[in-house]
Every structure is written in C-alpha cells, then in structure tokens.
Chains A and B, each alone.
Chain A
Amino acid sequence: MSVELGHFALVLALALALVQSSVPLAGARLGSPSLMRVGEPTAIAGLGLVAIAFAVLTLAYVRSDFSVLNVWENSHSAKPLLFKITGTWGNHEGSMLLWVLILSLFGALVAAFGRNLPPTLRANVLAVQGLIATAFLAFILFTSNPFTRLVPAPMQGRDLNPILQDIGLAIHPPLLYLGYVGFSIAFSFAVAALIDGRIDAAWARWVRPWTLAAWAFLTGGIAMGSYWAYYELGWGGFWFWDPVENASFMPWLAGTALLHSAIVMEKRSALKIWTVLLAILTFSLSLLGTFLVRSGVLTSVHAFATDPTRGVFILAILVFFIGGALALFALRAAALAPGGLFHPISREGALVLNNLLLTTVTATVLVGTLYPLVVEAVTGEKISVGAPFFNLTFVPLFLPLLAVVPFGPMLAWKRGDLAGAFQRLHLAFAAATVVAFLSFFLVDRASALAALGIGLGLWLVFGALTDLAVKSGVGKAGPAVALRRLKGLPLSVFGTALAHAGLGLAVLGVVCVTTLEEEHILTMQPGQTVEAGDHRLRFEGLRPFTGPNYTEEQAHFALFGADSLRRGSIVSSKRLYTARGMPTTEAGIRTIGLSQLYVSIGDETADGGLVVRVWWKPQVTLIWIGALVMMLGGMVSLCDRRLRIGAPARRRAEAAAGEAA
C-alpha cells in the first residue's frame, strides 16, 4: 500500500468533515430530517477514512519505508517491532493524526449509538464534531503532513528518540488523547444545546457517560505519563509542575468538576447553565493543552518534536473554538431555563462546593502556567514559575476539598442532614485521626504536615468504605441482608466509592514520598555499600551489555534486607543508542511492598568510582495505584445500567406505545 493512499484518504476525510459540519446544521435550522440525517454516515465514513490514513502510516513505519520523510526522521530498521508501531505517534505529525483518529472515533460513536437522541440535538452535535475535525484535518494537511515523500529514499532512518523507545509510548499518548479528545463530545453537546436554545435532563444523561469515559482515560493517561517520566528521566520525581504536565492536569481538574455538576443536572435539573459552561471550558483547556504541548512555547522537560511555527495554526483553532463557544454562550445561556431548588446543606450543595473549589484550583494552575508567557510578552523579561508556586497555591486550596469529599455522598438530595452525616462518618474520622497521631509520634521524621496528609488520605479511603457500609445497612441489618443489599447497590455507588478511595490512596502516596523519602548521592567503589530505608546496597561493579539497538554499561548492585539477607540485585545502566549516538540513563528500580528503591548512576570518577544516586521512596506506588483505582471507579460507574438505558429511549418507547394505542 502506498502512502499516497493515506494522503488521499485524509483529503477525502477533510471534504467529508466539511459536509458533516454544514449540512446537518442547515437541516436542523430548516427542520429537514433528510438533511439532518447526513450527519451519521459522514461521521462513520470519516472515521473509516482517517483509520485508513492512520493504518497506512503505521504500515510505512512497520516496513521501514524511508521514502516517507516522517518515517526516515523517526524510525530505524533495527528498532524492535513494538517501537516501530508506537513510533507512528512518537512525532508531531503522527501524534496529530492519532488526535484526529480519536476525534473521529468519538464522533462515529455518537453517530452509531445516538439514535435515541432528539434529531436536532444529534444533528447539531455531529455538526460541531465535524467542525472540530475539519479544523484539525486542515491543520494536518496544510502544516503537518505525515505523508510527505523523500526523494531519493535513504537506506537508513534517523531512529526514534531513545527516551521514547519504551512501552510507555504505547500506553500514555493513546490514553491521554482518549481523555483530552473525549471531552470534545461534552463540548459539542454544550454548543449544540446552545444552538438549539434547549437543554433538559436527557442532555445531562447523555453527556455524563461521555464525560465519565473521557475522565477515566485522562486519569489513566496522566498517571501512566507520570510513572513513565518517573522511571525514564532518572530523576525519581513523579510530578514536576512542568507546563506540559499542567496542560493535561487542567482539563482533568475541570473535567472532574464537569463530571460532578452533570450529576446534579441529571438528577435535579439544576446547574444547567453552569454545566454547559464547564463543558465548554473543559474542552477549551484540552485545546490549550494541545497548543502548549505541540507549539513548545513553554520550556518543558517532556515535550518532544515541538514546532513553534505550526503552533500559530493551533492558536487560531483555539481562538476560533473557545471564542466562538463562549460568544454563543453569552448570547444564548440566558435562554436556558433555570432548574430545581435546593438547600445549601444537601448533595447538590456539596457538589457545588466541589465545583467552586475545583474551578478555583484550575484557575490558579492556569495562571501559574501562563504567567511566564504574559510577563515575557509585556515586559520582555524571562521568568519561570516552578513547583514552589504551585505548592503554595494548589495545596492550600486542594486540602479543604479533600476534607469535605466524604460528606458529599452522605448527604441527601435537596436537603441534607450534616449532623447525621457527621455521625455516620465518626468511625472513619476517628480511625484516620488515630493513624495520623500514631504516624506523627512513631514514624521518624514525620512532620505535623505529613501526619495531617496521611490522616486526610485515610479519611478519604475510610469515608468511601463508610459510604458503602451505610448504603448497604451494615450494623442495622444482619450481615446476610447487608451483603445482599451491597450486591444490589447500583454500580455508580461503587464507582463513586472507588474513585474517592483512589484519590485517598494517591494522596497517601504523595504525602509519604514527599515527606519521608531518603536520598543519597555518593561516589561508590566496587564493594562499597550504602544504606537506604531499611535496606543496604552493595556496588558489585560495571559490566558491558549489548541490546538490539544499543550498548550499555550496567552497574550491578546487591540488595540486602534489614536482616542482612540477600534480597536479589538491582541493575542500573548508562545506555548508548548507536543510531543517534545518544546516551540515556536507565534507572534501576526495585519494588518492595508498596515502596521502591530507586538507583540511578552518573559518571565514572578518575579513581575508578561511580557517582550513584539512591532514593528510598516509601509508599510511592500508591500514587499510581490510587490513580488506577480512580480510573477503575470511572469504568465501573460507566457500566451502571442507568447510563445504558437512557431517558430518551424510554420517552420514544412511550411515544411509540401511544401511537400503537
């Protein structure tokens, strides 16, 4: 298959996207069902065409077709097959193609499964999706074409950046994009509702699962990105407050708020206007993230293959969609009818508090991320805003949010009973407090802040368990009845409990590793030992090793437990990728329980020693385990029966029954 086929498919996809973005919209305006129906086949065919383009590019990578410029720049025939495939999106052009592929996938899913939607809403949603696809397909075709040929074709490629030759590239970008781009559905629904000037609970019932799915993927994507950077960069850090990290974190924060406000809208028909605004803001932050990462306007340790000149095109897309959607919001939002009433102390009230805090936190992260750009544009001075800024602003605003999370699910809709919620949570509170005090007095070097953090993390976990216990009637009914009730609880209740408990676990991990971590930097001679945590490492010496496309010097360390028994070994290495002549450091990591021993090596010294950096990272894995539990919570909630059998379906069934009668 020649790459021209892929190029052709992409051009056709652009033409189809233009049709998809205009005809259904006109149909909805004119009330013409036949015009509105154009949306579905174009969306599905569009996915097919983009999938062909993507498959063609992947095949060019697998076959090492160096007559394609993109393949020559980023691949090598000696690269293992997995990295040939993942290398497809390990560069700017391919990465944007993956972005559009996922966008088309979501659009086609709405087309395929949205048959129950009111026809005008469906037509408008598909039109907005088509508009986004048009913009990004044009971006790829005019500025970032992955199918450009190279004549004459070189014999060998320039290889993929070695840091990207890792399983992380297979997992992190697709998950992250499923999250980022998944929020486009919420955006399209919001804009469609504004075009229509109508919005109801059925709208929220539709938006919620899409948001939930996008949120779960984004959670997983961020967590996997964090773990990848942790083991690959060799610095042992899990989060740097780097602009690229913030770019993915802001849509996550806003998406979390959206997830919660959509619940209020679905259940109580309240917060309609706010939910629409959040849906617009969340995807806007995704677009902003794409712009920040792809353009490289902010210096980052994670950005690969950035190109400032093409950033301007994305900036234009950004301005068009955010500006357009917000203008539409300003014009039409007042037309959306306000919803149900509620008392401040209620489930709705708790979710509003969650929203207020999350959006405030998002705003501070946004300010910290963009501030250097603004200062440079205004004064020309170059400044950087680093981790200390975010620790000072993010942490004080996020702590109260964590403290109130367990109350939310305990409060009733409309009017809640705060004293009753306290009463039900007193065991969880007592247990968390006791552990916090114990860790303060018993654990070496545990500060008051560390104890508070540990207490908060456990409070979230115990609070989630209490929620399940209360809802299944543990303590009031017999164990058999309680178990039966537990089994009968809706999956969304388990989803909530899992997500909140996962958040608690991640908090525990972050607190433990930031306050109790041990770090040693030293020069080691063979035979020398170093203590870290309860363990001892003995440097055994350096040995050369040859991999498929690299050579390396491996430093071997013997690991001993507190009882001086040998517990295996750790290998850390300095690798040289021969194609690019580029060195990388491969950290040696050993997981012990939930903690990790992390060894990274530096240069050899003149007297035959080796510079070694050893970290003891207590409970560090909880950070990512917690995030995965949150993701699982999202997935479990997504399987809830209620989300699959939507309100619009019921209404149509009733209408059909009415006609029959």
Chain B
Amino acid sequence: MTRKQKRLAVIGTGMGFLALAAALTFYALGQQTSYFYMPADLAAKPAAAGERIRLGGLVEQGSVVRGEGTRVRFAVTDHESSVMVVYDGILPDLFREEQGVVTEGVLGADGVLVADTVLAKHDETYMPREVAESLKERGVWQEQ
C-alpha cells in the first residue's frame, strides 16, 4: 500500500467510527433525554402519560406524607400549580419543605409523577440551577 492508500484507510476507519458514534448519539438523544418542567409548565402544556420527565420546584409546605412503609408522597410547587410525586426510597438529607428539589421519573395517567430519583443538593442554601432560574423568572424566589 502506498502512503496515500494507508492514509485513506486510517481516515476511512476513523470516519466509520465517527459515523457509528453519530448514529448512536442521535438515536440515544432521541430516546434518552428528559425535559425539565416546572409544575406551571405541566399545567399549561401537559406531558404525555408515560413520558420520562424532570420536575423541579419547591417542596410544598405541609404536603409531605410519610409512613406508608418506605413510600413517600409530596407535592412539588412553584406557587402557581403543584404536582404530586410518589417516591419509594430514602430521601436526600437536605430534603425539606419549602426547599428546592429536582425529581426525575415517569408521569402517570393520573398526573402523579412516580419518581425514581429525588435530588436536593448538599448545601443548605443551594437551589438547583433550573429551579432557581424558573422561580426567579416568576418572581417567586430571590437569591439571598
């Protein structure tokens, strides 16, 4: 093989890998991304039941119900509307009422989010970025 042919072979293999990677990436991005919603977004433009979403907001005052074994129910609110969330497992240490959370899971037909992840950050003044921005837009929350 000449130098040119070898270079072509290397470039061809590289392009092949890149094409494969691009195909996988497009496929996965189509399948595996989840959109971020605030409760008011969901009220205005409901997501399809069975869709995987991220829901952010504040944990509504007085909405947390424990005691059904390991199951916890709470509402996520942005002071406009709120969405019920069910979660089976151990809540993060800094999960508190009136604190920012991001939950991720599948929306049920009854409008209840069955969450498999609940994120509250490890800093007591922390507000998840998406939540902070959306709340600031609505004037509900200001940065200290």
A177-B53 Cα distance, complex, nearest whole Å: 35
CB of B123 within 8 A of chain A?
yes
A160-B103 Cα distance, complex, nearest whole Å: 27
The answer to whether A163 touches B122 (Cβ under 8 A) is: yes
CB of A523 within 8 A of chain B?
yes
The answer to whether B36 touches A384 (Cβ under 8 A) is: yes
- The CB with the most chain B CB atoms within 10 A, among A234, A368, A389, A582, is that of A389
Enumerate chain B residues within 8 angstroms of A356, measured Cβ to Cβ.
10, 13-14, 17
Q: How many residues of B contact A (CB 8 A)?
A: 43
A579-B94 Cα distance, complex, nearest whole Å: 15
CB of B144 within 8 A of chain A?
no
B13 → chain A closest CB, angstroms: 6
The answer to whether A392 touches B123 (Cβ under 8 A) is: no
Q: Which of B23-31, B73-81, B106-114 contacts A (4 or more CB under 8 A)?
A: B23-31
Enumerate chain B residues within 8 angstroms of A367, measured Cβ to Cβ.
25
The answer to whether B17 touches A344 (Cβ under 8 A) is: no
Which single member of B24, B33, B36, B69 contacts A393 (CB below 8 Å)? B24
- Interface mask (B111-129 → A, CB under 8 Å = 1, otherwise 0): 0000000010111100011
CB within 8 Å of B: which of A584-626?
Answer: 584-585, 600-603, 605-607, 611, 613
The answer to whether B34 touches A389 (Cβ under 8 A) is: no
The answer to whether A392 touches B31 (Cβ under 8 A) is: yes
CB within 8 Å of A: which of B54-75?
Answer: 54, 66-67, 69-70
A383-B94 Cα distance, complex, nearest whole Å: 24
CB of A198 within 8 A of chain B?
no
- Nearest-neighbor residue (CB-CB) of A400 within chain B: B17
CB of A580 within 8 A of chain B?
yes
A382-B54 Cα distance, complex, nearest whole Å: 9
A521 → chain B closest CB, angstroms: 5
A267-B9 Cα distance, complex, nearest whole Å: 22
Interface size class of A (residues with CB under 8 A): 35 or more
Enumerate chain B residues within 8 angstroms of A112, measured Cβ to Cβ.
none
The answer to whether B17 touches A357 (Cβ under 8 A) is: yes
Enumerate chain A residues within 8 angstroms of B33, measured Cβ to Cβ.
371-372, 383-385, 389
CB of A239 within 8 A of chain B?
no
Which single member of A304, A581, A605 contacts B69 (CB below 8 Å)? A605
Which single member of A234, A381, A388, A606 contacts B90 (CB below 8 Å)? A234
B10 → chain A closest CB, angstroms: 6
Enumerate chain A residues within 8 angstroms of B9, measured Cβ to Cβ.
344
A611-B95 Cα distance, complex, nearest whole Å: 15
CB of A433 within 8 A of chain B?
no
The answer to whether A392 touches B27 (Cβ under 8 A) is: yes
CB of A583 within 8 A of chain B?
yes
CB of A171 within 8 A of chain B?
no
CB within 8 Å of B: which of A383-417?
Answer: 383-386, 388-389, 392-393, 396-397
Enumerate chain B residues within 8 angstroms of A393, measured Cβ to Cβ.
21, 24-25, 28
- Nearest-neighbor residue (CB-CB) of A522 within chain B: B70
The answer to whether A304 touches B123 (Cβ under 8 A) is: yes
- Interface mask (A344-359 → B, CB under 8 Å = 1, otherwise 0): 1000000011001100
Of all A-B residue pairs in the complex, the 5 with the closest CB atoms, nearest first, are: A382-B36, A602-B90, A392-B28, A388-B32, A389-B32
A/B interface sample: 28 pairs, CB < 8 A? A296-B129, A344-B1, A344-B6, A356-B14, A356-B17, A364-B25, A368-B25, A368-B28, A372-B33, A385-B29, A386-B34, A388-B28, A389-B28, A389-B32, A393-B24, A397-B17, A397-B24, A521-B88, A521-B89, A583-B93, A585-B90, A601-B90, A606-B66, A606-B67, A607-B67, A611-B90, A613-B89, A613-B90
